[in-house]
Amino acid sequence: MTDAVPTSTELAHVTTTMERIHTSMSSVLSGLDSVITTTLTTVLAGGHILMEDVPGVGKTTLARALARSIDAQVGRIQFTPDLLPADVTGVSIYQANTHHFEFRPGPVFANVVIADEINRASPKTQSALLEAMQEGSVTVDGTTHALPSPFLVVATQNPIEMEGTYPLPEAQRDRFMTHLSIGYPSADDEVAMIDGRDGGDPLARLTPVASLSDLEHASAIASRVYAAPAAKRYAVDIVAATRQHSRIKLGASPRATLQLIAAARAAAAFEGRNHIIPDDIKYLAPAVLSHRVVLTRDARHGTVTQAEIVGDLVANVPVPRATAPGARNVAGSRASA
């Protein structure tokens, strides 16, 4: 990562690339602009996405629309209770003619992996995917196989209250950068959705609008977005606040802070800015933090959700001023965080 702050030309590349993908996805998913934006922000930041909602609201469609809009290799895994780790990673098969075991890559060997209903599979199988996400490689029978780059997992899951689900362990939820909820569409959007289906499956009409290299380039640019001390401080303050909130049993980890800043960088780049503003952090905090906090039993038994609690918490953390000594924005005070 070079230290230089992205130039306006570079930022223009990011915005045009991401706008193209956004437009493409919006044509399939009406009324989901902000979810698409968050999704693309996560993609730009190189993070993985966990989508959680009731069946039928378009989680899979969103994931597929993303995959199809990028000229990328797509792998799709439908998680079921009897899915085995080998079904995810691939297996070595004995080839009688060569007397060798030949590795047959599983669906995880793709740039965009759609892990549908990830919480329907057994924890063992979930772990296989999550380890692949963490390591960037898969080890089968003692041989390590590198996953392609970029590697992006879009996992969907049903709310854990539903029957036949295995909730993801906290440590594994932490692997996902953002946690999104789609929600039911508005009446107008639902009508528009019906209209969109008239000419057949709209997904089939999608053509790739951005190449993998475009995306990789954009990601590289986004990672260089400048985070001012005041902005970093704000992210830290918010994450720290999750650890002190009375209704949160387990707060977010320092990794959450890093991912929040990374996501905020992407959001800034998405908007063509070369620096983070607190609005980026504020906007992304519920998505980045809500799946990482564990509510107290009281809170769980109430009607609040993690996202609501994080939202409430963000609304109360003061935005730091740039007045502390050294907090003044000068090049010398920059740290490549």
Partner 1 sequence: MNSASRTAPRWLMTALLATAVCLGALGLSAFLEERGWMTPIVGVVGITAVAVATARTWVTSRALPTMIGVLTAIAVMLPTFVRDDSGARAWLPTPDALAALGDTVAAGVNYSASTVAPAPVTPELAAILAIGFVMVFLVAENLTVSWGLAGTAGFVIFAPWLAPIILSHDVPFLALLGALACWLAVLGLAHRTTMSTPPVGVAPVMTASVGAALAAILIMPLALVSPAWGGLPTLDGPVGSSTTTVTRLSLDLDLRTSLGERSSLPVMEYDTSGARPDAFKLHSLSSFDGAAWQRTPGTEQSTVSTTDILWPLELPAPEEASSVRVDVSLVGLSEDNIPLPTTPRAVDIPAMVNYVRDLDEVQLQGQESVGLEYSFEMYPSMVEPALLVDGNGSSTVVDESFLALPDAMDAALLTQYTQDVTAGAETRLAQAVAIQDHLRDTMEFTYSPDVSVQSDDAVGDFLESRTGYCVQFATTMIMMSRTLDIPARLAVGYLPGTLQDDGTYVVEATDAHAWPELWFPQAGWVRFEPTPAVQSGTAPRYSTVDSVDEAARAEAFQQLDEEVFPTADANPSPQETSETAAPVAQDGDTTKSGRWEQWAVVAAGSVAVLMTVWWLAVRRQRSRTGLEEITPDVIWTELHQALPEPFRWADAMTPREAAGHVVAVAARETPMSPQARGSLTSLMQCVEDFRYAAVPSEVEGTPSQTVMREWSAVVVQEARAINKGARATARKSR
Give me the residues that bind partner 1 (CB under 8 A), please.
5, 226, 228, 230-231, 274-279, 282, 314-319, 321-323, 325-326, 328-331, 334
Q: How far is the CB of 116 from partner 1 (least distance, A)?
A: 37
Q: How far is the CB of 252 from partner 1 (least distance, A)?
A: 18
- Give the number of C-alpha atoms closer than 13 A to the C-alpha of residue 289, restricted to the C-beta side: 37
DSSP class of residue 317?
Answer: S
The nearer residue to partner 1, 68 or 282, going by C-beta atoms, is 282
CA distance 56 to 184: 9
3-state secondary structure of 53: coil
The nearer residue to partner 1, 194 or 335, going by C-beta atoms, is 335
DSSP class of residue 274?
Answer: S
The nearer residue to partner 1, 115 or 277, going by C-beta atoms, is 277
CA distance 167 to 122: 9
The nearer residue to partner 1, 215 or 238, going by C-beta atoms, is 238
Contact 69, 246 (CB under 8 A): no
Q: How far is the CB of 297 from partner 1 (least distance, A)?
A: 28
Q: How far is the CB of 272 from partner 1 (least distance, A)?
A: 13
Segment (H or E) for 294: strand 294-295
Q: How far is the CB of 248 from partner 1 (least distance, A)?
A: 18
Q: How far is the CB of 291 from partner 1 (least distance, A)?
A: 22
Residue 218: CB atoms within 10 Å: 26
Contact 263, 288 (CB under 8 A): yes
The nearer residue to partner 1, 77 or 241, going by C-beta atoms, is 241
Of 50, 285, 280, the residue nearest 181 (C-alpha)? 50
The nearer residue to partner 1, 107 or 278, going by C-beta atoms, is 278
